[in-house]
Structure 1
């Protein structure tokens, strides 16, 4: 990614931009159509984070833009008047990417700070907000909400409840198979009271042991261990089923080489270094052997040079990589070994 500038000139404040800000600058530089195509491949949480970063960008100079573009190996020469932070740009881009309904919900949250409607609106909310919303509702309603949302968001929602409630919810999630219209009507009534919106009520498959395992998989490791033990105390067979279906970072050793190589193409070096700091040596070797000799040497050097990293940061990086792995598995691009295959 070299250019003719000196390192100091090439940086131009680039190091001050975090990963989200860099992604936002890159999307803003691509134009609405191309940026929209990229956003189509992101999940709700990713779109919200990047969209918020775009909406709050300020004081971005051209040197920083060029540095970001060079870093991502893209050419944006001539696009100097981007109008960073433009509300119209963000509205048009998100509408192209998500359609009017979903974009409207996200635009309200990013640009207007407004509320959204319907069950899908919960996907755009912070986990603590969702927890507060359902805290005093019937446990079965809580289980339906947790089952419906993405596993990582649901795990954060559970962390806002005490142990007894967490256990009750996850047990109910594991027992769910299909939700009847009456239950969805009740849930929609709750949402309408909060958001004054409309939502449909059709029977749908939701929950189950696999969903419960996926949620527990995203819970903090200590909390997950405690929760599994509590589940086993109530229903040992169910606890074992959930444990068998969980896929953790160390299980990457069971993924075939082709799958690891596909996964590595989607993971940034910075994220990988942090994740491997606390990984089992067998996982590290699995990663190294599926890289070129030069790339593996550089990664080893980065690991040695990396100073102490907080356990929370390591776990966060590992969960990000697991999220990517599950996305690739859902798309049929890789097969997760062991319990991971059942997580799809």
Structure 2
């Protein structure tokens, strides 16, 4: 019964992919000759993600061919097996294109993938392209992503691109194909190298999510074993104390979106400079209400203050990642009380 349930759970494309994995390469080649490119691409994606399928499920699906398939055992869909089968049916260039799309940034089409590329990387590439090419790309990717990319392009170039977009008519298929081909060869093929995270930035990002006590302990241990690495990580970290480095516009943007109760709790344990930074960017009435809220809290635990401050740090970094603010970057006892 479990085998039949497993078989029933497979959708149509998964069953087709399993069938092709079980067949010989010549048979697969003949089948692919009757499919269009989009169908082959969908099957290739499914093959790659199919993983291991029990031979019992294979036997159920091919009940008319039990004798031939019973010795096949389990089938495993992998990038390598998919590429090998595609190579028998398609030109090498087309195989490379399909496999690159499968293993590259998320998305089924080139335009989906571009919408998942870091906006700075995409903007740095596009600023050297013709305005007409840029306008085509920006009209094909997601609007919210196009907006972020546009803000990173030179002002003079943006205006020209916008004018091209306004006057743009339907783009011929061959032009789109040419742009896609260029992007794939010149940009997407190098994107994994260009977007590789710096290991120090990654560790600093992780440390930002630690509670203050654990963070101090890990930084202390790292300072003992590798002081240079510790210093580099500390310089990359963004903590609540770094809110002082935000300009007035940035602080105001943060205040607009955060939970005011959590802000009051966070400021309860903040130093005077940070308190003044926030209060100076609130209206007199809002500042007065915030001070009253802080006073009414009485004694609060450092743990709760840390959690509130970490919430504000995460919110601030999220705003920065969306390009809404700019961060200019250059530290208890968990149950202690702050009056």
Q: TM-score when scaled to structure 2?
A: 0.39
Radius of gyration: which is bigger?
Answer: 2
